């Protein structure tokens, strides 16, 4: 059996086929730390970069022609586990710190989380069935891919330049709610070709550059005395 291989120093697959997946994961973890410190511009950029890594990690993996079944299965599981962090937990953290709270916020976050993991679990099932059957499936997604949040959230974040804080909270809440529901709605969406991916990268890249150049945020300290409001407030203002 392919999975009964000689013992090695490390478990799992350690070759170039997983490099981009791990880079995307590390970008998300670094972005979480930046979000907690109030550096939302950097956090949004990290989310977009994680999405960029995910767009090409499968292409990189397929360049290795002699992958075993165990290596392919490892790639399927690894991709989804990293996606839970990069495009599940990370966006939720960003939106929460940006003001998505209260009962509506909790409902939106809960739905997004449940729909996200449901989608990824079903993706693993479909990919595993395809691997063992040897029959290539259609070049379509069933529902909105969870990685789409790495495109949606940076574009939504641009609205913070012009939209009042309260309405920005509403928009972020609706973004999580609607995006989460679309994860599990069973419609077919054609997988983008390289030209489409490059066009999306250009659009998100412009958004990221705009965020880096023009967005101004400061964070009220978590332990500020006498603060009876939200722990973290995001205020758009010009830096001195």
Pairing type for strands 140-142 and 188-190 reads: antiparallel
Does pTM surpass 0.85? no
pLDDT at 92 (0 to 100): 96
- Where the chain has pLDDT below 70, the residues are 1-9, 137, 215-240
The dihedral sign for the CA sequence 221, 227, 231, 234 = negative
Distance CA 48, CA 50 (A): 5
* Contact partners, residue 105, CB within 8 Å, separation at least 6: 95, 96, 169, 173
Nearest CA among 97, 105, 93 for reference residue 218: 97
Per-domain residue ranges of the chain = 16-236
In this prediction, residue 194 carries a pLDDT of: 85
In this predicted model, what pLDDT tens digit does every residue of 16-70 receive, in sequence order? Answer: 888 999 999 999 999 999 999 988 889 999 999 999 999 998 888 888 888 888 8
The whole-number pLDDT of residue 1 equals: 44
Residue 5: per-residue pLDDT: 53
Q: What is the pLDDT of residue 233?
A: 45
Residue ranges of alpha helices (H) inside the chain are 19-36, 40-61, 69-83, 90-97, 102-133, 149-157, 165-184, 194-214
Q: Please tell me whether residue 237 adopts helix, strand or coil conformation.
A: coil
The DSSP bridge partners found for residue 190 are 140
How is residue 11 annotated by DSSP?
Answer: S
Q: Which of 75, 32, 30 is nearest to 57 (CA)?
A: 75
Question: CATH number of the domain at 16-236, please?
Answer: 1.20.120
Kindly report the backbone phi and psi dihedral angles of residue 112, in degrees, each rounded to the nearest multiple of 5, phi listed first. Answer: -60, -45
């Amino acid at each position: 059996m392919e999975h009964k291989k000689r013992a090695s120093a490390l478990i799992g697959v350690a070759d170039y086929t997983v490099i981009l997946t791990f880079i995307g994961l590390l970008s998300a973890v670094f972005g979480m730390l930046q979000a907690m410190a109030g550096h939302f511009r950097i956090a949004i950029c990290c989310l977009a970069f994680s999405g960029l890594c995910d767009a090409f990690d499968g292409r990189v993996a397929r360049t290795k022609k002699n992958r075993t079944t165990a290596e392919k299965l490892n790639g399927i599981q690894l991709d989804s586990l990293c996606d839970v962090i990069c495009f599940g937990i990370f966006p939720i953290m960003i939106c929460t710190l940006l003001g998505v709270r209260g009962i509506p916020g909790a409902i939106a976050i809960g739905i997004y989380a449940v729909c996200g993991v449901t989608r990824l679990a079903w993706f693993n099932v479909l990919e595993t069935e395809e691997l063992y059957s040897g029959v290539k499936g259609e070049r379509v997604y069933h529902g909105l891919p969870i990685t789409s949040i790495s495109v949606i959230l940076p574009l939504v974040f641009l609205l913070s330049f012009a939209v009042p804080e309260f309405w920005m909270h509403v928009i972020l809440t609706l973004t999580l709610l609607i995006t989460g529901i679309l994860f599990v709605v069973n419609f077919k969406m054609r997988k983008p070709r390289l030209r489409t991916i490059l066009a999306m990268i250009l659009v998100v890249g412009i958004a990221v550059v705009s965020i880096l150049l023009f967005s101004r945020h400061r964070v009220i300290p978590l332990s500020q005395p006498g603060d009876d409001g939200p722990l973290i407030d995001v205020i758009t203002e010009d830096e001195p």
